[in-house]
C-alpha cells in the first residue's frame, strides 16, 4: 500500500494522475473536460461545493439564498470517475511529485493549481481586522448579518449620530464588486428597509463608495465608468473617486485631508491577491503573488505543475500585465490546458493559449447596467437584461437556475425579497 493510497485512499492506476487543487471555474471546467480521457482525475478543495462568485453580492444583500449559487462537487462528479477530497493544500514537494494536505499526502504526475485569489488588504492590519470582505460564502452571510444586526442596534440608540453610524454603509473599491454592492444596497434602502424598519428614518442612512483611482470600473471603458457613476448617483449613492482610505478602527473611517466618517459597516472590495504556496520558489511569483506561467499554463521552472485562473499570470502582447482576473480567463485556460494535457499524454506538440475577450458587464440596479462587448457597448435596460441572461445561464445546475430565476422574478414584480434572516452561530459555552 502506497503512502498516497493509505492517507487519501486514492486507488493506484496505470493512468497518469492529474491532481487539481481548487473547484472554482477553472478547476471544475478542467476536471470535467479531462474525465474519461485516459487520466485519473483527483480534485481537492477546502469546500465541498462550487460557488458562483459573481452573484455572491446578492447573498450579502439578501437577494438570494446561498444554496441558489452553490452546487455540491460530489453531485457534479457523479458517474464521472473523478475522485474528490475535501482538503486544504499545505505544501508541494516538486522534487518527488508529491503534495501535502491537511488530510494526508498524494503523489501526482501532473498538478494543476486553480486556487483563485483572496482579498488584498495591502498590508493594512487594522483595515484587514475591522472591515468586511466578500470572497467566500461565509463572508457574504456575515455581511448580511452585520447589516441587519446594525439596523436592529440602531433602533435602540438615543443619539442621532449613533443611529447614523449603525445605518451607514461604506464600500471601498469601485470595481464591479463594489459598484454592484452599492447599487444593491441602494435598492434595499429604497424599497425594503423603510417597510421593515418604520421606526427608523432611513434618510439618515448613507451609502458611500470610495475608489482610490480617478474612475469607477477601471477595467471597462470610459463610457461604462461615466454611466455607472451616473446610475449610482441616481440611486442616492455618495461616490468619491480619487479618494484612498487610510485607516479604519471599527468605528471611524479615516480618509485623506483629515476627513473622518463614523460608520459601523465597511466592506472592503479594493483588490485581490493570491496566496503563496510552500514548495513553489519565490522566482515563480509575479505581481500580486500570481504564479508566472508560460503560454501552456506551465509554472516557470516546474514543467509538470500548471496554474489556471486568478492565481496565474500569463502575458500576451495585448495583456502585458497579465489577463484580467475574471471567470472567462479561467474557463478558457482550463479548456486549453485540458487539450494540452491530452497532447502531452500522446506525445504531441502543445498549443499556445490566446485569450479571447468576450466582453465585460456590471449591473447597478433594476434596468441599470453597462456592458462592453467586442462589437458594441450597451447601457440601461438591454445591458441589464443581457447581464441577467448571461449570469443565469452560467450557474451550475438546472434547479439552481430555476431558483435564481424565481427569486429574481419575485423581486422584479414585488420590489421585495424575503430572505432577510439574521442567523447567528450559537456558542456552546
For residue 161, give the CATH number of its domain. 3.50.50.100
Both 38 and 130 in a single domain?
no
Amino acid 426: pLDDT? 59
Residue 28 CA to residue 116 CA, distance in Å, equals 12
Same domain for 219 and 175?
A: yes
The reply to whether 87 and 161 lie within a common domain is no
Q: In this structure, are 110 and 130 located in the same domain?
A: no
Per-residue pLDDT tens digits for 342-386: 999 999 999 999 999 999 999 999 999 999 999 999 999 999 999
What is the model's pLDDT at position 242?
A: 96
Task: Check pLDDT > 50 for residue 187.
Answer: yes
pLDDT at residue 180 is higher than 50: yes
Say yes or no: 248 and 280 in one domain: no
Smallest CA-to-CA distance from 308 within 4, 25, 10, 11 is with 25
Q: Which three cell numbers stand for residue 21?
A: 487543487
Q: What is the mean pLDDT of residues 62-88?
A: 95
pLDDT of residue 2: 45
Residue 227 has pLDDT above 90, yes or no: yes
**Residue 222 above 70 pLDDT?**
yes
Identify the H or E element spanning 188: helix 176-191
35 and 167 in a single domain? The answer is: no
Same domain? For 220 and 310 the reply is: no
Indicate the pLDDT class of residue 429, thresholds 50, 70 and 90.
very low
Q: Which of 321, 345, 369 is the last residue of a domain?
A: 345
* Least confident residue range of 60-74, 82-96, 299-313, 404-418: 404-418
What are the grid coordinates assigned to 187, written together? Answer: 435598492
Same domain flag for 263 and 328: no
Residue span of the structural domain in which 64 resides: 3-117+274-345
Query: What's the average model confidence in pLDDT over 149-157?
Result: 95
145 in helix, strand or coil? helix
Instruction: Please report the pLDDT score of residue 170 as a whole number.
Output: 98
What does the mean pLDDT of the chain come to?
94
Q: Is residue 423 part of a domain?
A: no
CATH classification of the domain holding 34? 3.50.50.60
Closest CA to 391 of 131, 65, 52, 136: 52
**Are 192 and 262 part of one and the same domain?**
yes
Q: Is residue 92 a contact partner of residue 276, using CB atoms and an 8 Å limit?
A: no
Residue 340 lies in a domain: yes
Which of 265, 254, 270 minimizes the C-alpha distance to 120? 270
If asked whether residues 79 and 150 sit together in one domain, one would say no
Does a structural domain hold residue 235?
Answer: yes
Q: Where is the domain boundary, 226, 256, 271?
A: 271
Q: What percent of the chain has pLDDT over 70?
A: 97
Whole-structure pTM value: 0.93
Whole-number pLDDT of residue 1:
39
Place of cell 498524494: 106
**Strand, helix or coil at 255?**
strand
Count structural domains, the chain: 2
Amino acid at each position: 500500500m502506497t503512502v498516497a493510497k493509505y492517507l487519501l485512499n486514492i486507488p493506484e492506476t496505470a493512468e497518469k494522475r492529474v491532481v487539481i487543487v481548487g473547484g472554482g471555474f477553472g478547476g471544475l471546467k478542467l476536471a470535467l473536460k479531462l474525465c474519461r480521457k485516459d487520466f485519473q482525475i483527483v480534485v481537492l478543495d477546502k469546500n465541498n461545493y462550487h460557488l458562483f462568485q459573481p452573484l455572491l453580492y446578492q447573498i450579502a444583500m439578501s437577494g438570494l439564498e446561498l444554496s441558489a449559487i452553490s452546487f455540491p462537487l460530489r453531485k457534479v462528479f457523479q458517474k464521472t470517475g473523478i475522485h474528490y477530497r475535501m482538503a486544504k493544500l499545505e505544501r508541494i514537494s516538486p522534487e518527488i511529485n508529491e503534495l501535502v494536505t491537511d488530510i494526508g499526502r498524494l503523489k501526482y504526475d501532473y498538478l494543476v493549481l486553480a486556487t483563485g485569489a483572496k482579498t488584498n488588504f495591502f498590508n493594512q492590519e487594522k483595515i484587514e481586522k475591522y472591515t468586511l470582505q466578500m470572497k467566500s460564502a461565509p463572508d457574504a452571510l456575515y455581511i448580511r448579518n452585520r447589516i441587519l444586526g446594525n439596523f436592529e442596534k440602531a433602533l435602540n440608540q438615543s443619539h442621532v449620530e449613533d443611529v447614523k453610524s449603525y445605518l451607514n454603509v461604506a464600500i471601498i473599491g469601485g470595481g464591479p464588486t463594489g459598484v454592484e454592492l452599492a447599487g444593491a444596497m441602494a435598492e434595499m434602502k429604497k424599497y425594503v428597509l423603510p417597510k421593515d424598519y418604520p421606526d427608523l428614518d432611513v434618510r439618515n442612512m448613507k451609502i458611500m463608495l470610495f475608489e482610490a483611482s480617478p474612475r469607477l470600473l477601471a477595467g471597462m471603458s470610459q463610457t461604462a465608468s461615466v454611466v455607472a457613476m451616473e446610475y449610482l448617483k441616481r440611486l442616492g449613492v455618495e461616490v468619491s473617486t480619487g479618494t484612498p482610505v487610510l485607516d479604519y478602527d471599527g468605528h471611524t473611517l479615516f480618509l485623506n485631508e483629515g476627513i473622518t466618517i463614523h460608520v459601523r459597516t465597511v466592506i472592503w472590495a479594493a483588490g485581490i491577491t493570491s496566496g503563496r504556496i510552500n514548495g513553489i520558489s519565490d522566482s515563480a511569483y509575479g505581481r500580486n503573488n500570481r504564479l508566472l506561467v508560460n503560454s501552456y499554463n506551465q509554472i516557470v521552472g516546474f514543467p509538470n505543475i500548471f496554474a489556471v485562473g486568478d492565481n496565474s499570470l500569463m502575458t500576451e502582447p495585448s495583456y502585458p500585465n497579465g489577463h484580467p482576473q475574471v471567470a472567462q480567463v479561467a474557463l478558457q485556460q482550463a479548456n486549453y490546458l485540458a487539450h494540452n494535457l491530452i497532447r502531452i499524454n500522446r506525445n504531441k506538440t502543445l498549443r499556445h493559449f490566446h485569450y479571447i475577450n468576450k466582453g465585460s458587464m456590471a449591473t447597478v440596479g433594476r434596468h441599470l447596467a453597462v456592458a462592453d462587448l467586442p462589437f458594441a457597448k450597451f447601457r440601461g435596460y438591454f445591458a441589464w437584461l443581457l447581464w441577467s441572461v448571461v449570469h443565469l445561464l452560467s450557474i451550475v445546475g438546472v434547479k439552481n437556475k430555476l431558483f435564481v430565476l424565481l427569486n429574481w422574478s419575485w423581486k422584479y414584480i414585488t420590489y421585495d425579497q424575503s430572505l432577510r434572516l439574521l442567523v447567528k452561530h450559537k456558542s456552546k459555552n
